[in-house]
Amino acid sequence: IFARFPFRCMSEGSNCFALIRSFRHRMRVFYRRYVLRFTAFILVFVVCFSAISASDETRLLEGYVFDHKTQRTIDNVDIILDDDAVGTTTDDRGRFVLRLSQGVYRLSFFRVGYGLVSREIRVSDEKVPILYVEMIAREIVADTIEVVAQSAETRFEELYEATGVLSGDELQKKYSLTLAETMKNEIGVAIRSMGPAPARPVIRGLSGDRVQINIDGMETRDLSATSADHAVTLEPFNSERLEIIRGPRILLHTASAIGGVINVVKQKIPEYHPQRVSGSVGAYGETVNRGYLSAAGITVPVGPLALYAETTYRNTRDVQTPIGRLVNTPIDTRTHTLGLSYPTDRGYIGASFDQFDTQYGIPGGFIGGHPNGVDLDIDRRVFDGRAAFHFDRQVLSSVEMDFTRTFYHHFEYESSGSIGSEFLFHDYRGDLKLLMNTQGQTRNTVLSLGFGHHNLKLGGFVFTPPTREQCASLGLYHEFIYRDIEFQAAARYTYADFDPRPTTRSLAALRVGRTFHAWSAAISPLVNITDQLTGGFNFSRSQREPTIEELYNDGPHLAAYTFELGNIDLEAETSLGFEVFFHYLQPGFDFVLSGYWNEFDTYIAPRNTGEINFAQLLPIYAADGVAARFLGLEMYLGWRLNTRLNLELNGSYVRGENRDEHLPLPEMPPLKFVGSATYQHPYLTVGGTAELVAGQERVDIFEEPTDGYAVFGVYAQRDMNTNHTRHSIIISVDNLLDTEYRNHLSRIRSVMPETGRSVKVHYKMFFF
């Protein structure tokens, strides 16, 4: 009600908006005073209680679980003690820790795709030796794609897990303010930003909706892809897993995400019935912005139903840099999620509701920014419905259905409190997947059908016409083996229709609607060259239809401080891509090398025309399609020197060129290397990181170069376990030397560097 009311009363003057802002301010004060204090009390109680319960005379059992064939560690192995519900789970390094009293115990190890393993151990007064367990992979009948993805049964999966997955302790260690900050040191990933809040990932130099962000497989619908000042509307703190999806698998989700799909796994609609109450409580704080976060999530069995609930609250102040404070960069964010499902042996049906509410500032007073800064207020509410049904049929294995309704309301306020821009949309998305049974050399075959309806309205001083978009898609994904060569292949057709409605506010409304038919396909073979070395390539042809903003923008954009013009004559963005990769894997050593080439005949991007709109004195940015080429290299090296010391190094480089004008493409990430060293002790894990970035001299006409830099960090992690809880606390220091450096993809780099030295504390307690 309160999100829709301001839009309706836009013409009634500023009193209406003052009333709404006052109400929202009161709600934030209430949340801080009562909800946060209650959460803090619960955290203190849990920590104290757990410390008391763990102070008994016990011994620490540390162990590692390995794959018998590959000698790679196995994560997410369930470990049950004496056939009871008490136990733990291995982390992303295959490590587990149990605190046990003296006696004899039987440990049982369970993991999808592996045979059951049992071990008997004796705990005495003497030090308990490290336990090493090997599990043997076994063939299973996979009813859903998720089963295959979680167990690295193919060399494709081994490659994806080595280069594109964050989970367990690794995810907790790298967690930061935003999704982009959390993933910034992954292979090929950079950050586009305009202050800390609206940071968004860039993959292989590609940004906007060429990088799609999903939650549990469904697209996160917001405006973060349309402008550098718009935030991604998700909180990654309670995520189980972050995945970067590349190759033909992209076409299972979309045809436009040429750079890749980032999938955030939360399981907010439980797919299985929980045996007991489980969940987590956590807190996070950092000194660079005096920020903090509190979070809680729980999964509860309610008769035959499964209930999931989650809430988070984040508050930060202005960011500190090595040369001073970056004014107007606070963040205030609240999220709430409630999910309910009815799981059975034959599948499940369920629904969830999410609310994401954030207020943040965009700094001003620099070239390309609003003189006094801008405040943004975003309210996003999502209803998800999901179902899966499994069958005992020769051809059809299972059916999966998803439906999502998104309400999004976005204000941009000037320093005086008046509204400069307003965005409102309702979005409906549906997806149907038919999964076929595995037969012969076929591993997975998926037929997907999708539809979408997007209704965008705008207010304030935005003159883009209200536009309705309708789309539909048909896709096919297939995995098969031919003569010991693994293949992935996919194809997708997308229909999109744009209908701008009449209005007196914009000349763009006088133009006609547009209809697009986009065809995309990809194939990727992978062959075992030796037992340790595999090689393959990926060839793709992709088409992306223009967005509403690229077609119909017509007017000033307050927070971005630009005058934006669309281009109604744009054609679909078409590209050909080729990638070759090699993966060398042996016990304790993992190496990946890849090179890629993407050729665009119409690469669509807003470019600075060099002209000024004299009515608002704003630089004019116009959407245009140019011939472009992307060339890049990526590498990853993981080396486990022994059971305690592990080294990692990754590097990425991309070169973008405007072939029409023989100029570099703007906002291309420079050469980057990220290295880390980790030492694991039974009681403490310590490590250090180094980020080495070259200067970027290849810039567009109206773009400034940036210098290279080196940034270092250190961290320490302590895990504590009791019978029904696991505690993890991480203390880290980022930018250890308080280095002054600038991110080439930051819109504010001309006046302010990146954040200075920051001490972070991350605590999370899991109960089960």
Q: Dump the DSSP string for 194-220.
A: SSSTT-EEEETTB-GGGEEEEETTEE-
Helices (H), ranges, 316-398: none
Q: What local confidence, expressed as pLDDT, does residue 150 receive?
A: 37
pLDDT tier, 50 (very low <50, low <70, confident <90, very high otherwise): very low
Taking 60 as the threshold, does the pLDDT of residue 745 lie above it? Answer: yes
Domain range summary for the chain, segments of one domain joined by +:
1-53, 54-135, 144-767
Give the SS3 label for residue 318. coil
pLDDT tier, 482 (very low <50, low <70, confident <90, very high otherwise): confident
pTM for the model stands at 0.81
- Number of alpha carbons in the 13 Å side-chain half-sphere of residue 750: 11
Q: What local confidence, expressed as pLDDT, does residue 511 receive?
A: 62
Dihedral angle sign, alpha carbons of residues 240, 247, 545, 563 = positive
Taking 50 as the threshold, does the pLDDT of residue 148 lie above it? Answer: no
Taking 60 as the threshold, does the pLDDT of residue 285 lie above it? Answer: yes
Q: What local confidence, expressed as pLDDT, does residue 43 receive?
A: 45
120: tokens are 């008997």
Mean pLDDT, rounded, for 540-561: 85
Dihedral angle sign, alpha carbons of residues 700, 702, 707, 713 = negative
Cα–Cα dist 209/203, whole Å: 11
pLDDT tier, 659 (very low <50, low <70, confident <90, very high otherwise): very high
Q: What local confidence, expressed as pLDDT, does residue 112 receive?
A: 72
Q: What local confidence, expressed as pLDDT, does residue 464 receive?
A: 83
Q: What local confidence, expressed as pLDDT, does residue 634 receive?
A: 96
46: tokens are 């849990």
Taking 80 as the threshold, does the pLDDT of residue 83 lie above it? Answer: no
Cα–Cα dist 625/655, whole Å: 18
Mean pLDDT, rounded, for 55-59: 53
Q: What is the CATH number of domain 54-135?
A: 2.60.40.10
Helix (H) or strand (E) holding 22: helix 14-30
Give burial (CB, 10 Å; 0-12/13-18/19+) of 66.
middle
Cα–Cα dist 180/232, whole Å: 9
Angle at 197 between CA 195 and CA 198, to 5 degrees: 80
Q: Is the pLDDT higher at 505 or at 715?
A: 715
Lowest mean pLDDT among 149-163, 245-259, 374-388, 670-684: 149-163
Mean pLDDT, rounded, for 600-627: 82
Q: What local confidence, expressed as pLDDT, does residue 443 receive?
A: 74
Cα–Cα dist 582/58, whole Å: 47
Q: What local confidence, expressed as pLDDT, does residue 31 receive?
A: 52
Architecture of domain 144-767: Beta Barrel (2.40)
Q: What local confidence, expressed as pLDDT, does residue 509 receive?
A: 46
Taking 50 as the threshold, does the pLDDT of residue 104 lie above it? Answer: yes
**Residue whose tokens read 């400069």:** 420
Q: What local confidence, expressed as pLDDT, does residue 156 receive?
A: 78
Lowest mean pLDDT among 375-389, 461-475, 731-745: 461-475
| Pair type for strands 709-721 and 685-693 | antiparallel
Q: What local confidence, expressed as pLDDT, does residue 575 receive?
A: 94
How many residues does this entry show for the chain? 768
417: left (phi over 0), alpha (psi -120 to 50) or beta: left
Cα–Cα dist 172/469, whole Å: 38
311: tokens are 């809430």
Give the SS3 label for residue 130. coil
Lowest mean pLDDT among 107-121, 297-311, 346-360, 516-530: 107-121
pLDDT tier, 697 (very low <50, low <70, confident <90, very high otherwise): very high
Q: Which of 752, 751, 359, 410 is nearest to 557 (CA)?
A: 410
The mean predicted confidence, pLDDT, of the chain is 84
6: tokens are 């301001």
Q: What local confidence, expressed as pLDDT, does residue 20 receive?
A: 52
Taking 90 as the threshold, does the pLDDT of residue 336 lie above it? Answer: yes
Taking 50 as the threshold, does the pLDDT of residue 3 lie above it? Answer: no
CA 492: distance to chain centroid?
Answer: 23
Lowest mean pLDDT among 227-236, 409-418, 657-666: 409-418
Mean pLDDT, rounded, for 509-522: 85
Q: What local confidence, expressed as pLDDT, does residue 504 receive?
A: 58
Lowest mean pLDDT among 126-130, 328-332, 635-639, 741-745: 126-130
| Pair type for strands 165-167 and 189-192 | unpaired
Q: What local confidence, expressed as pLDDT, does residue 703 receive?
A: 84
Lowest mean pLDDT among 72-86, 272-286, 396-410, 563-577: 72-86
Summarize pLDDT for 194-215 with one digit per residue, the tens: 888 999 999 999 998 899 999 9
Q: What local confidence, expressed as pLDDT, does residue 67 receive?
A: 77
Cα–Cα dist 240/412, whole Å: 33
